[in-house]
């Protein structure tokens, strides 16, 4: 009989845990999935797999014979940073539905900037009737920081909508219809030639603080920025300086150094900032459970793990 699968999560409400357990059990009826707090000492010792959502590191440490960990999130930087070392292999969630939803959000908020919605919001507040010239998507270039699964899905949607698309990644990639860049010089070139920059980078030691004043002020004057990656990739004080100086026209921020965004943050009331409550790429429980189920079934059958996180790179 297969060993019990541990579900390890820190959730705000018991109903959140129950919702995840319900989705996972429906997708994997042949598995016995128990929340960590309901497992006996014998079950914890025997567990070979943990499915996790923001787990307490102490709980993972109390599962001494894990062969691997499956995260329910696409971002795993906190998990990698907090887990006791050496950690078992970690698989992050790679979900086509998440890619679709994120690409949808990138396109929606790119349209928001392309169609000058922040300007019209301000015009309404001032009771001003002030139409602006229309900009065709083909007249604008969108630069994507991060060309992983999410970045490539976003590039496809933007290209199909008629935008010129460029992309930057740590290592050089080739994507049909996208001009790609890599390395330090490539980053400067992409930033300097993009009207809207979309950040989809994971948070790693290399990306923390990557978009600082040096790079913000290499962007086009009047360009806009969307951050759907991780807050600490962009230096918040430097971003505010670029906005206050008039160098950047607007930014759409869905992620921040501290979440929920503190009440005292300057971003809340800044006229050139649109604040979102980390909603650009929500995880759909049923879809995520289906992905996890397929990975677990394959592992049970022949011992193969899905693609696991490079712990040195952090993703």
What pLDDT digit, counting tens, does each position of 29-47 carry?
Answer: 999 999 999 999 999 999 9
DSSP state of 144: E
The band of 80, judged by pLDDT with boundaries at 50, 70 and 90, is confident
SS3 call for 142: strand
Q: What is the pLDDT of residue 122?
A: 96
Cβ neighbours of 277 (radius 10 Å): 11
> How many Cα atoms are found within 13 Å in the side-chain-facing hemisphere of 145?
30
Q: What is the pLDDT of residue 47?
A: 97
Q: What is the pLDDT of residue 95?
A: 95
Query: What mean pLDDT value characterizes the chain?
Result: 95
* Euclidean distance between CA atoms 105 and 279, whole angstroms: 9
In sequence order, which residues have a C-beta less than 8 Å from that of residue 171 and are 6 or more positions away? 182
* Average confidence (pLDDT) over 97-108: 97
Above 90 in pLDDT, residue 192? yes
The conformational region for residue 18 under phi > 0 = left, psi -120 to 50 = alpha, else beta, is alpha
DSSP state of 71: E
Sheet-wide strand order for 141-145: 179-182, 164-169, 141-145, 196-199, 224-227, 250-253, 273-275
Above 70 in pLDDT, residue 4? yes
Number of helices and strands in the chain (H, E): 11, 12
* Average confidence (pLDDT) over 14-29: 94
DSSP state of 262: P
Q: In angstroms, what CA-CA distances link 274 with 112, 250, 254?
A: 10, 8, 8
Record the tokens describing residue 127, joined without a space: 């009771």
Cα torsion 143, 288, 313, 35: sign: positive
Q: What is the pLDDT of residue 1?
A: 63
Above 90 in pLDDT, residue 297? yes
Q: What is the pLDDT of residue 162?
A: 98
With b for 16 or more beta-carbon neighbours within 10 A and e for fewer, the 173-211 pattern comes to bebeebebbbeeebbbbbbebbbbbbbbbbbbeebeebb
Asked if the peptide bond before residue 77 counts as cis, ω within 30 degrees of 0, the response is: no
Above 80 in pLDDT, residue 12? no
Q: What is the pLDDT of residue 231?
A: 97
Above 90 in pLDDT, residue 315? no
Residues recognised as catalytic: 230, 278
* Euclidean distance between CA atoms 205 and 251, whole angstroms: 24
């Amino acid at each position: 009989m297969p060993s019990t699968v541990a579900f390890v999560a820190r959730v705000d409400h018991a109903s959140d845990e129950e919702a995840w357990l319900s989705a996972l059990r429906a997708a994997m009826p042949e598995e016995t999935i128990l929340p960590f707090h309901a497992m006996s000492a014998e079950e914890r010792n025997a567990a070979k797999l943990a499915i996790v959502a923001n787990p307490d590191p102490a709980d993972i440490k109390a599962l001494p014979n894990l062969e691997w960990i499956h995260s329910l999130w696409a971002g795993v930087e906190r998990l990698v940073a907090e887990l006791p070392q050496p950690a078992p292999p970690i698989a992050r969630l790679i979900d086509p539905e998440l890619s679709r939803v994120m690409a949808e959000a990138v396109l929606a908020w790119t349209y928001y900037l392309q169609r000058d919605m922040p300007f019209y919001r301000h015009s309404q507040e001032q009771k001003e009737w002030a139409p602006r010239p229309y900009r065709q998507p083909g007249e604008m270039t969108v630069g994507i920081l991060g060309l992983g699964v999410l970045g490539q899905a976003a590039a496809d949607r933007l290209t199909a909508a008629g935008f010129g698309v460029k992309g930057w990644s740590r290592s050089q990639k080739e994507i049909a219809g996208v001009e790609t860049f890599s390395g330090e010089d490539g980053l400067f070139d992409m930033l300097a030639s993009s009207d809207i920059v979309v950040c989809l980078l994971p948070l790693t030691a290399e990306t923390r603080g990557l978009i600082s004043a040096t790079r913000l002020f290499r962007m086009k004057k009047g360009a806009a920025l969307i951050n759907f990656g991780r807050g600490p990739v962009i230096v918040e004080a430097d971003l505010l300086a670029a906005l206050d100086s008039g160098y950047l026209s607007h930014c759409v921020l869905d992620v921040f150094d501290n979440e929920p965004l503190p009440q005292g943050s300057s971003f809340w009331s800044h006229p050139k900032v649109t604040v979102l409550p980390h909603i650009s790429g929500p995880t759909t429980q049923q879809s995520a459970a289906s992905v996890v189920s397929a990975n677990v079934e394959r592992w049970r059958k022949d011992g193969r793990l899905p693609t696991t996180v490079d712990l040195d790179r952090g993703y």
